[in-house]
């Protein structure tokens, strides 16, 4: 079935019936025959842009939805080995739905356009490249009339946040469905906890605590560039180590704890102050700190204390807590899944004081976020997580900037900050210089709290 016929009926008009036959005689006098079946007209096509581990996982989750036929038809990355490995990984899980021919595997900075060009309006593109490229690729997806799933964070600084907020409004005007990979918001157990907190079961929330204390994580610790590799490609391959590419380890990893905590408060903090330092970087040349400690303040004076650490041999903890005037709650205490959410009658988080606990078995939120998005597409329900995703990214950057500069940073200051980490990002080619350059010793500029106070580096 073609995407748009002479009367302007798009495939989305068919999809929203979830595969049932549709009579659209009222639209330009055109009727779709009653014998057209779901297999003929409701297949959603996917394109994967960014073929790392998260992109591969997102594609498998998308292909695991059960609301109707769905297939992966195009892939793009700047690294051939990542695309190849991703293809093989998806093939091992979902071979029958993997329909990416060799001529639909695109390598290079323009690969995202070529992959999206394979799709029809109403199909879905998965954007899982380093976060810096999010606004560039989202803009093209909107132009193509595509629904979008994008990983978090969706912005890394003030200018990119403003761009994403504007693009989100544009996408909504076109009735495009957009999911953002803050999957904890789709967790059913966390959702029940949120409702219970909102209903007053722990009283007024006055304090939140969040921890992600682990060993070296992702590509946040980066050694010197090897010979024979361009600086730009080296930084993209190790994107967690560079603030322009990802917002650094802080933004890419701590955003989940921040977002789920703010969800329980039903508010974003208005300011942040923080601290951190580079203690054991050794020969690493990335821009990250080893430790971060941030105090967020909400409009009503309540606090969120956030602790981040990526040092081996130390106490490890990955959880979030809420404290109210009547009791307390575990938001999550085993990473992303299972949440193991529960409520206590006081501030002592001990077994005998539990008054509510979620079930032992929890649905996977990585799958739930895809089930929810695809269901919204098939039934043409309003669905956009862009504003919330942009604000979560901004609040995360606000805490990061507070730690990196040693200053108190407000929500509005972060939103209006003019330091754009990677200007002209949409013009990058394989031969372009990197947005941040090493010195003669192969080292990159790092934050200097109290010295560099207006920008992070």
Q: Is the pLDDT confidence value at 10 over 80? A: no
Order the strands of the 354-357 sheet from edge to edge: 354-357, 342-344, 328-332, 317-324, 205-214, 303-310, 291-297, 271-277, 409-410
Residue 279: half-sphere exposure toward Cβ, Cα within 13 Å: 11
CA-nearest of 103, 137, 96 to 118 is 103
Query: For position 430, what pLDDT does the model report?
Result: 87
Q: Is the pLDDT confidence value at 23 over 90? A: no
Domain 11-184+370-385 has CATH 3.40.50.720: yes
What average pLDDT does the segment 228-250 reach? Answer: 96
Q: Domain boundaries in the chain?
A: 11-184+370-385
CA distances in angstroms from 428 to 126, 132, 174, 352, 431, listed in the order given: 20, 12, 28, 58, 8
* pLDDT, tens digit, 9 for 90 and up, residues 80-116: 999 999 999 999 999 999 999 999 999 999 999 999 9
Work out the number of other CB atoms within 10 angstroms of the CB of residue 101.
9
Q: Is the pLDDT confidence value at 362 over 80? A: yes
More confident residue, 162 or 14: 162
What average pLDDT does the segment 230-247 reach? Answer: 97
pLDDT band (50, 70, 90) for residue 18 = very low
Q: Is the pLDDT confidence value at 1 over 90? A: no
More confident residue, 27 or 217: 217
* pLDDT, tens digit, 9 for 90 and up, residues 254-280: 999 999 999 999 999 999 999 999 988
For 287-338, list the strands marked E by DSSP: 291-297, 303-310, 317-324, 328-332
Among the ranges given (37-46, 280-289, 406-415), the one the predictor scored with the smallest mean pLDDT: 37-46
Cα torsion angle, 390, 391, 393, 398, sign: positive
pLDDT band (50, 70, 90) for residue 41 = low
**In whole angstroms, what is the distance from residue 148 CA to residue 135 CA?**
12
Cβ(127)–Cβ(148) below 8 Å: yes
Query: For position 30, what pLDDT does the model report?
Result: 33
**In whole angstroms, what is the distance from residue 414 CA to residue 418 CA?**
9
**Percent share of the chain, pLDDT over 90:** 88
* pLDDT, tens digit, 9 for 90 and up, residues 393-426: 999 999 999 999 999 999 999 999 999 999 999 9
Q: Is the pLDDT confidence value at 21 over 80? A: no
What average pLDDT does the segment 334-359 reach? Answer: 96
What average pLDDT does the segment 128-132 reach? Answer: 98
| Whole-structure pTM value | 0.90
Q: Average pLDDT over the chain, rounded to whole?
A: 91
Residues 6+ apart with CB under 8 A from 43: 68, 69, 70, 71
């Amino acid at each position: 079935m073609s995407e748009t016929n002479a009367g302007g009926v798009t495939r989305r008009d068919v999809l929203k019936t979830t595969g049932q036959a549709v009579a659209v005689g009222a639209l330009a006098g055109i009727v779709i025959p009653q014998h057209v079946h779901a297999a003929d007209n409701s297949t959603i096509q996917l394109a994967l842009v960014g073929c790392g581990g998260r992109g591969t996982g997102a594609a498998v989750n998308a292909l695991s939805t059960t609301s109707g036929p769905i297939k992966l038809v195009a892939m793009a990355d700047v690294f051939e080995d990542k695309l190849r490995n991703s293809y093989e990984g998806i093939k091992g899980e979902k071979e029958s739905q993997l329909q990416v021919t060799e001529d639909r595997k695109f390598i290079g900075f323009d690969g995202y356009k070529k992959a999206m060009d394979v799709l029809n309006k109403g199909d879905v593109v998965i954007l899982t490249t380093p976060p810096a490229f999010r606004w560039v690729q989202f803009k093209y997806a909107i132009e193509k009339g595509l629904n979008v799933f994008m990983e978090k964070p969706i912005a890394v600084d003030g200018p990119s946040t403003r761009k994403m907020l504007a693009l989100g409004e544009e996408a909504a005007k076109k009735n495009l469905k957009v999911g953002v990979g803050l999957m904890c918001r789709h967790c059913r157990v966390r959702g029940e906890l949120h409702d219970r907190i909102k209903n007053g079961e722990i009283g007024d929330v006055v304090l939140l605590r969040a921890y992600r204390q682990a060993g070296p994580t992702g590509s946040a610790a980066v050694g010197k560039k090897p010979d024979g590799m361009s600086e730009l490609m080296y930084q993209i391959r190790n994107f967690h180590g560079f603030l322009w590419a990802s917002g650094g380890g802080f933004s890419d990893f701590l955003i989940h704890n921040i977002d789920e905590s703010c969800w329980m408060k039903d508010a974003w903090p208005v300011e942040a102050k923080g601290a951190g330092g580079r203690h054991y970087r050794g020969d690493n040349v990335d821009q990250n700190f080893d430790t971060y400690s941030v105090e967020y303040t909400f409009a009503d004076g309540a606090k969120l204390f956030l602790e981040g650490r990526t040092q081996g041999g130390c106490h490890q903890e990955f959880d979030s807590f809420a404290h109210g005037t009547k009791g307390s709650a575990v938001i999550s205490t085993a990473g992303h899944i299972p949440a193991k959410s529960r409520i206590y009658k006081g501030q002592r988080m001990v077994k005998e004081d539990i008054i509510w606990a979620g079930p032992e078995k929890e649905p996977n939120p990585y799958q739930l976020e895809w089930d929810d998005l695809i269901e919204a597409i098939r039934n043409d329900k309003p669905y956009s997580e862009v504003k919330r995703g942009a604000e979560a990214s901004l609040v995360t950057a606000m805490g990061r900037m507070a730690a990196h500069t040693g200053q108190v940073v407000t929500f509005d200051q972060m939103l209006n900050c003019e330091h754009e980490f990677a200007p002209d990002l949409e013009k990058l080619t394989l031969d372009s210089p990197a947005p941040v350059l090493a010195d003669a010793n192969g080292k990159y500029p790092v934050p200097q709290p109290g010295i560099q106070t207006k920008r992070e580096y």
